[in-house]
Structure 1
Amino acid sequence: METFKLVLLETSDIHGNVFPQNYGTNEKAELGIAKIATLIKQERALNEHTITIDNGDIIQGTPLTYHYARFQQSLPNPMITILNDLNYDAGVIGNHEFNYGLGLLNQAVKESSYPWLSANIVDTETGQPYFGNPYLIKSFPDGPRVGILGLTTKYVPNWEKEEHIRGMLFEDTIATAEKWIKVLKEEEKVDLVVVSYHGGFERDLETGEPTETLTGENQGYELCMKVKGMDVLLTGHQHRQIAGNKINGVLVVQPGCNGLTLGKVTVEFHKDESGFRVVEKDSELLVVDGVNADQDVLSSIQTYEDAVQEWLDQPIGKIKGDMMITDPMAIRLGDNPLIEFINNVQMDAAGVDVSNTALFDNISPGFPVDVTMRSVVANYIYPNTLVVLRVTGKIVKDALERSAGYFELLDDGTVGVSKEFTTPKPQHYNYDMWEGIQYELDIRNPVGERVTKLDYDGKNLLPDQELDVVMNNYRSGGGGDYMMYKGRPIVKDIPIDVSELIANYILEYKEIEATVNNNWKVVY
């Protein structure tokens, strides 16, 4: 009996990480696609038959990609250059592919020597896949036919600017998978069905119990349970590290983010008179710790890197006082100079007196005395713009209750982070802090009953009282389960990246005083 071994290699959520470094500190880090490239080349040397797929969120996420998008668009996209040189077989459209605008995305797709797959993003006029390719067929001499179907989380319209996705409809992944897998099986006669889905799992992989609000953002579990004919499901979006798991017989894998690991799926076929059939399949994650970065990859974009490093080290102003972060939890428990400053920048840009923002992660360093562009991008890591929404006092209270759910009171009286904001991935960016209102959150109370004070201009904010509030575009669209903002009137749209607004503000005022007015606090 003839046997055939196939190895699938998956990257996902690389987010512009190439060099093994942290741009905020310029220190070395065990991550990046240059290290992944070394692993890919090693696997290809060991295995005769391989397929390499990027599962999305490749062209956005670091100062390298930001600088390219803002200042170097006339040049080839550095991330696409790398994937082309590594001979990727296919890519999938991720939600962050849209962040820099449709022009840049279309340019990236055009430059790619591999197809971009997304069967459920369709043209609103033709109903056909917007990016042209629902799937890819990969065949091998005297080997099996492999069908690779691409899918993107249908939740993109809840986050992205309308002009960045104009002309597109994001269809349900379940119905789309059923439609195209039937084509792969009955018309294309494939021996293996691989679904590469830029989305994750909304349920526990073992029990099927919900692990998050079932919004349809992450339909991986549902795909495995409802769609017949899948053999392998490659996932991403949630930045989880998953390997070795099967759901309803479907092998699943997810390789984390930022180039920390390479997903590897090994499939063994037997061939008999009826053709090829799968007899064994398994998955693992290959970590980059201790792996040398591929010098060809680094060299291919060195000129981009030199330009971004020069830009990052440009001095733009000074801080008078302390805006550094030593304890991220302390930042979230009471008013502080860094968050107050970012809110002040947003209010200045928008011309309103109420604002909210978040401390996006637990590695933001804060602003040192001498501020550079590196300081700005280290603290404001997303390409958000600003939106002014007209909301009511009730909506403000509902939003504060959503944020207050971030905390849980531990048995020893200390404060921890609720699993809803940590599992299946950290969501520190979904806890907002406000300026322009006065409020208190008492986390000794049950979730949903924690707002114990809410004033505006020294008076109790009434439920039907209207305020104009500036926030980032992700939040204004309901991102982070802030659905109370959906459909509210947009008073003003400010199409300039917040990081750019922060830099411009510092350049204008030269010296920024670290101030705090203690307009809010968390009681525990």
Structure 2
Amino acid sequence: MADQAQPALKIVILETSDVHGFIVPYSYADGTKLDSGLARLAEVIRKERELAKEEEGAEVLLIDNGDCLQGSPLTYYQAKVDDSLPSAVLECMNYLRYDAAVPGNHEFNFGLDYLRRARAGSKFPWLSANIISERTGEPWFGTPYRIWELAGGVRVALLGLTTSYIPNWEQAEHIAGIQFDDPVETARRWVPYLRQQEEADLVIVSYHGGLERDPESGEPTEPQTGENRGYALCTEVPGIDVLLTGHQHRLLEGLEISGVSVVQPSSEGKYLGKVTVTLHKQHGVWMVVRKQSELRSCEDQAADFEILGRVAPAEEALQEWLDQPIGEVRGEMQIADTALARREKHPFVEWLNKVQLEVSGAELSCTSLFDEQAAGFGSTITMRDIITNYKYPNTLRVLKLCGADIKAALERSAAYFTLDPEGNIVVNPEFLYPKPQHFNYDMWEGIEYVLDISRPLGERVTRLLRNGVPMKPEEEFNVVMNNYRAGGGGDYFMFRDKPVVRDIPADMVEVLADYVRKTGVIDPVLTPSWSVTAGSRSKVL
């Protein structure tokens, strides 16, 4: 029973994750209203804090779970074009009085100097126990955890962890001198310390990573690469009360795994994660007696005027930059249907690959349409068009690959498709859930190939030619691709540890913009060289 003299205490944990620099509630592509962004989410945070005040003794913690500093045109502009103004994202987070943040994988995309400046401009600590300085052996961010002593002497611990898969994606110079330890092994060391040495009554783990298994069955839901370890944290590390997750952009609420309350609030500021913990004091010791995780949508919420005002100078400069014309198109390069453009060769995709070939000197190239916002080019090309179509700060890398590697990569891409019961070619649900992964389907230039989706996985490449001649497994080629793919990102394991012929350090947005400026006028070309079929049942949807 609870001590008669001590009432129950409620602690409300609010989580943002994968905001990706989206603050204002409209689309950078066309200006349409969006029910997302930190400006709208700020109103949800304010209401949750007011609600907590109404409940006697309720305490509120606001945590960011990573990937806040990269992903929008605004963050790109401030990192790569004009850094004269303070980071708009951090201005907003400081204003909202965040209590802590955990770095995500995308925090490293703009390099360590950018990340150091971000830390210096933050009025809250960055926590990650498994990101380690190779020089000192200590956490690179300085502090692995934070302790709060709240009303009644309740001690709350927050341990920060980050997916250790970052070296498979990130440019080497962006993580120089840093090692990424396994988050589960790290938690096994730190959670007992927090319980015993720090005498924590409540242990929260904020992990920028997701769930690798189905929370009910425990069955794997993805290749067990170590990218996501949330399920293992819940089942293999005793002493965790709450797990804040992210990275997968999922909507997770009301979930418990091995007694650990789990939440994940999607991405781009669409939702706020909330975990309410109730503690009672029993025999002089605070005990967790109830936990509930839920999500709060920012749909139809008014945007916070203070936040809009704080980001206005950076937004005005950004909008002027985005609308600068840099070239023209003589012909058709607009993408009316992204799904069709992934099944049938499109002039815009061919152009992307040919730019990569020209700037790299490679023989073959592969690229992706990253998401459904990729619209191609109209008659006038602006920076807005470039950055909308190419949203990631990738660079290019040329690898030495053999024919067998290329065929294996095509088979991986072919897994993007499946057939529905009527025989229509559709996107494989594994590439849609738990988050869309259109960026993990590649289209190639310099080879001729056919993918037959009616055939079993691993046997779908029915034609593979180079200059009209069948490609031999042992033949070697220089192949250009983005650095994410070259590191094996997207489960393209056949690319890992292959000889690097050349690195092109310029950001792809810069590469594309410079190419357009130099060319002036683009004449679209469409040279059919690949197809996606369903054999004799060749329908598409």
Q: TM exceeds 0.5? A: yes
1:137-156 aligned at under 5 Å gives the runs 137-156=147-166
Deviations 1:38-94 (A, max 9, x none): 111111122141000000000000110000001232432211111111110000010
Deviations 1:442-494 (A, max 9, x none): 11111100111111122111111110011000000000000111111111101
Displacement of 1:26 after TM fit? Answer: 1.8
Give the match's secondary structure for 2:220.
coil
Give the match's secondary structure for 1:27.
coil
Displacement of 1:138 after TM fit? Answer: 1.2
Mapped partners of 1:35, 1:329: distance in 2: 31
Question: Could you tell me whether the CA contact under 8 Å between 2:211 and 2:228 is conserved in 1?
Answer: yes
1:111-190 aligned at under 5 Å gives the runs 111-190=121-200
Report the equivalent of 2:36.
Answer: 31
Pick one of 399, 413, 429 that aligns with 2:439. 429
Question: Could you tell me whether the CA contact under 8 Å between 2:409 and 2:494 is conserved in 1?
Answer: yes
Pick one of 406, 416, 419 that aligns with 1:406. 416
Mapped partners of 2:254, 2:30: distance in 1: 35
Question: Could you tell me whether the CA contact under 8 Å between 2:85 and 2:314 is conserved in 1?
Answer: no
Report the equivalent of 2:247.
Answer: 237
1:58-97 aligned at under 5 Å gives the runs 58-97=68-107
Structure 1 stretch displaced more, 372-381 or 42-51: 42-51
Mapped partners of 1:40, 1:107: distance in 2: 26
Mapped partners of 2:45, 2:433: distance in 1: 30
Report the equivalent of 1:47.
Answer: 52
Report the equivalent of 1:489.
Answer: 499
Mapped partners of 1:215, 1:233: distance in 2: 20
1:292 aligns with 2:297: no
Displacement of 1:143 after TM fit? Answer: 4.2
Amino acid at match of 1:16: G
Deviations 1:251-293 (A, max 9, x none): 0000000000000111111123322111111011100110001
Report the equivalent of 1:499.
Answer: 509
Deviations 1:481-511 (A, max 9, x none): 0011111111110111112111111111111
Displacement of 1:109 after TM fit? Answer: 0.8
Structure 2, unaligned runs of 5 or more: 54-58, 535-541
1:515 aligns with 2:520: no
Report the equivalent of 2:461.
Answer: 451
Mapped partners of 1:333, 1:403: distance in 2: 11
Pick one of 1, 14, 17 that aligns with 1:9. 14
Deviations 1:203-248 (A, max 9, x none): 1111111111111111001110000000000000000010100000
Mapped partners of 2:284, 2:240: distance in 1: 19
Mapped partners of 2:82, 2:386: distance in 1: 20
Report the equivalent of 2:355.
Answer: 345
Mapped partners of 2:30, 2:173: distance in 1: 34
Mapped partners of 1:479, 1:240: distance in 2: 19
Question: Could you tell me whether the CA contact under 8 Å between 1:12 and 1:236 is conserved in 2?
Answer: yes
Mapped partners of 1:484, 1:353: distance in 2: 18
Question: Could you tell me whether the CA contact under 8 Å between 2:363 and 2:477 is conserved in 1?
Answer: no
Structure 1, unaligned runs of 5 or more: none
Displacement of 1:126 after TM fit? Answer: 2.0
Give aligned-pair identity as a percent.
50
| TM-score between both structures, scaled by the size of structure 1 | 0.99
Mapped partners of 1:34, 1:519: distance in 2: 46
Report the equivalent of 2:262.
Answer: 252
Amino acid at match of 2:41: I
| TM-score between both structures, scaled by the size of structure 2 | 0.96
Q: CA RMSD in A?
A: 1.0
Mapped partners of 1:504, 1:61: distance in 2: 21
Displacement of 1:335 after TM fit? Answer: 1.3
Mapped partners of 2:84, 2:30: distance in 1: 29
Question: Could you tell me whether the CA contact under 8 Å between 1:390 and 1:468 is conserved in 2?
Answer: yes
Pick one of 98, 103, 114 that aligns with 2:108. 98
Displacement of 1:417 after TM fit? Answer: 1.1
Deviations 1:401-445 (A, max 9, x none): 000011101221211111221222111100000001111111111
Mapped partners of 1:127, 1:516: distance in 2: 53
Pick one of 23, 26, 34 that aligns with 1:21. 26
Displacement of 1:523 after TM fit? Answer: 1.6
Amino acid at match of 2:63: I
Q: How many residues align?
A: 524
1:439 aligns with 2:444: no
Mapped partners of 1:116, 1:272: distance in 2: 33
Amino acid at match of 1:506: V
